[in-house]
Amino acid sequence: DQQVKQNSPSLSVQEGRISILNCDYTNSMFDYFLWYKKYPAEGPTFLISISSIKDKNEDGRFTVFLNKSAKHLSLHIVPSQPGDSAVYFCAASAQESGGSNYKLTFGKGTLLTVNP
Partner 1 sequence: GAGVSQSPRYKVAKRGQDVALRCDPISGHVSLFWYQQALGQGPEFLTYFQNEAQLDKSGLPSDRFFAERPEGSVSTLKIQRTQQEDSAVYLCASRQGRWSPLHFGNGTRLTVT
Name which position in 45, 67, 81, 115 contacts partner 1 (CB under 8 A): 45
CA trace torsion 95, 37, 73, 96 (10° rounding): -10
Q: Is 59 in the site for partner 1 (CB under 8 A)?
A: no
* CB-count burial class (<10 Å; 0-12, 13-18, 19+) for 52: middle
| Closer CB to partner 1, 1 or 116, in the complex | 1
To the nearest 5 percent, what fractions of the chain are helix, strand and coil?
5, 55, 45
Task: Name the one range near partner 1 by CB under 8 A: 40-48, 53-61, 63-71, 74-82.
Answer: 40-48
Minimum Å gap between C-beta 106 and partner 1 is 3
Positions that interact with partner 1 (CB under 8 A) = 4, 32, 34, 36, 41-46, 49, 89, 91, 96, 98, 100-109
